[in-house]
Amino acid sequence: MFSRSLRVLGARANRRALSACYLRTRCLSTTLNSQAEPVTNHNVPVGESIPAQSSVMPIYLDAQATTPLDPRVLDAMMPYMTENYGNPHSRTHKYGWETEKAVDIAREQIANLIGAHPKEIIFTSGATESNNTSIKGVARFYKGKKNHIITSQTEHKCILDSCRVLQEEGFEVTYLPVNKGGIIDLNELKAAIRPTTALVSIMAVNNEIGVIQDLKEIGKICHENRVFFHTDGAQAAGKIPLNVNDMNIDLMSISGHKLYGPKGVGALYVRRRPRVRLEPIITGGGQERGIRSGTVPSSLVVGMGAAAALSARELDYDYQHISKLSRRLVDGIQSRVSHVVRNGDPNHIYPGCVNLSFSFVEGESLLMALKNVALSSGSACTSASLEPSYVLRALGAEDDMAHSSIRFGLGRFTTESEVDYVVDNVQAHVNRLRDMSPLWEMHQEGIDIKSIQWSQH
């Protein structure tokens, strides 16, 4: 039923109907599971939270954590999860050939999204693996001649951790700082490059604040200095235009589930001319040009290919849709709630990632209050450390502002009415939390909070 109705709805003109159909499917499954009347978030009055045990799914505004599988992607995957189950590496029968053909098409679809050649695409389990393979793989291959890596302080944990592992192996790593807006300084990058630098790794779009780095200029600097340039494109691929040749990118990591594809699959672009050499992390059967052994998960790969093709075709449409919602969200909140700061340089930001700090409000409390909205604080709150976000810290944010940040992630299926509902609820809950805050009261009385001498006992 799912696939037949979707084939009818597949055209771009029917996007609205498609997302409605998708959401209806979600509602339906809730009903089937719970045997209860379907309830939408919109039935919950503003300022009230859905009870903890409720079967209602919150409004999804966490598009940086993951994106829902586009139903058209599922449609493309289905045959490879059922009748076309061949191993794409089986050379002796039709099952293998059919699947291999599908994998090749997916490779081409992903290559097209970033202006690469299909032979330059390696399938992995996700951006974490692609990032590990790039950083460790390049460094270890060239370790006889080079021992230095450059990255930034606001990279995803898997980049920072790969660098840490390399430091333990004797490599040197420069972690470039960022300015208040989250952007690296290109002169500092130039100054950091040494004759022994093997790789520069700078992410395209930051997952916490949405800041976009100047990839083209970074790539130019790297190539002038004959240093390989890797970018973590997990949050950028399918969201903003990327071209590995225009941008002088030598390696790029992509994740399936960040672009409305399945989880557990990713891609790594590896330039062929001039060739980038890597020491593989996973060895064995020598699949994927020896860079990543293991049977290619054909259904996931087909899904990621379909997702890439859809994203390429609808990139402008998605961007416009998300920009419009982003303006509605930011303007709505900022016009109705005072003392709200947007984190990240607004001139270099992906609109689908809106990171806001609400003064005098603890981010975690606001997150808890907004139970009917699926959000992230974009901070380290969830870790045992209770440390504020290292990304916001790198931007120079004061601890209190870092502690009061919330990330709103908008995506392809987000609707205007969802945004309006979120704006109403943010206003209601921020006001309520501030009314309970002694700091807010002092601020209202004109006391400069920063001048307060806190007792040390």
Residues annotated as catalytic are 381
| Residue 379 engages ligand FES in binding (rule: CB under 6 A) | yes
The interface mask with ligand PLP, positions 56-85, x = CB under 6 A, is: --------x---------------------
For the record, the structure tokens of 84 come out as 């076309």
CA distance 160 to 162: 6
Give, as one character, the DSSP assignment of residue 181. T
Based on the shown chain and the rule CB under 6 A, indicate whether residue 303 belongs to the binding site for ligand PLP: no
Q: Does 271 bind ligand PLP (CB under 6 A)?
A: no
Only one of the segments 56-64, 307-315, 381-389, 413-421 lies at the binding site for ligand FES (rule: CB under 6 A); that segment is 381-389
| Interaction between residue 381 and ligand FES (CB under 6 A) | yes
| Residue with the shortest CB distance to ligand PLP | 126
- Which span sits near ligand FES by CB under 6 A: 79-87, 158-166, 372-380, 449-457? 372-380
* Helix, strand, coil percent values for the chain (each to nearest 5): 45, 15, 40
Does 363 contact ligand FES by CB under 6 A?
A: yes
Please check whether residue 360 is in contact with residue 440, taking contact to mean a CB–CB distance below 8 angstroms: yes
Q: What residues between 178 and 237 interact with ligand PLP by CB under 6 A?
A: 203, 207, 232, 234-235
Q: Which of 440, 441, 408, 405 is nearest to 423 (CA)?
A: 408
The whole-angstrom separation of Cα 393 and Cα 72 is 40
Compute the distance between CA of residue 148 and CA of residue 174 in angstroms, rounded to an integer: 8
Cβ-based burial of 94 (10 A; exposed 0-12, middle 13-18, buried ≥19): exposed
Assess 403 for contact with ligand FES (CB under 6 A): yes
The window from 68-76, 161-169, 348-356, 380-388 that contacts ligand FES (CB under 6 A) reads 380-388
Q: Which is nearer to ligand FES, 230 or 403 (CB)?
A: 403
State how beta strands 148-152 and 172-176 pair: parallel
Binding to ligand PLP in span 96-135, by CB under 6 A: 126-128, 131
Cβ of residue 449: shortest distance to ligand FES, in angstroms? Answer: 17
User: Which positions from 236 to 265 touch ligand PLP by CB under 6 A, shown as an x/- string?
Assistant: -------------------x----------
How many helices and strands in the chain, by DSSP H and E? 14, 12
For residue 450, what is the DSSP state? G
Looking from the CA of 333 toward its CB, the CA atoms found within 13 Å total 24
Looking at the Cβ atoms of 151 and 255, the one nearer to ligand PLP is 255
Other residues' Cβ atoms within 10 Å of the Cβ of residue 126: 22
Footprint on this chain of ligand PLP (rule: CB under 6 A): 64, 126-128, 131, 156, 158, 203, 207, 232, 234-235, 255, 266
